[in-house]
Amino acid sequence: MVDILKPNISLEAPLNNTWLNNYTVNFSYTVTDNLTSNCTIYGNFTGTWNEIKNTTNISSGTQINSLINISPEYNSVIWNVYCVDQAGNG
């Protein structure tokens, strides 16, 4: 049997429109899939859209927490997570 399902990603924190007065922010997400996944946080934390942090060999249902420093000059950030499972689905 061939796996064709993409990992499901739930962005958990920070929530939309959250105001933070700290420049070290916990970005939290959970990925579910029938295979282990490799995930990357992307964001505009430096003024441009960039790959920020990679996490490998994530088991399904594991919550990932990443403390990331944000430049104080950016008062609004956009972030997302992209995951690929062992079968290459992403």
The CB density around residue 22, as the number of other CB atoms within 10 Å, is: 8
Asked, as a colleague might, if the bond just before 14 is cis with ω within 30 of 0, I would say yes
- The confidence score (pLDDT) of residue 18 equals 83
pLDDT tens-digit series, residues 64-82: 999 998 877 767 789 999 9
pTM above 0.85, yes or no: yes
> Residues 50, 42: contact at Cβ < 8 Å?
yes
- Dump pLDDT digits (tens) for 3-55: 889 999 999 999 888 887 788 899 999 999 999 999 999 999 878 899 999 99
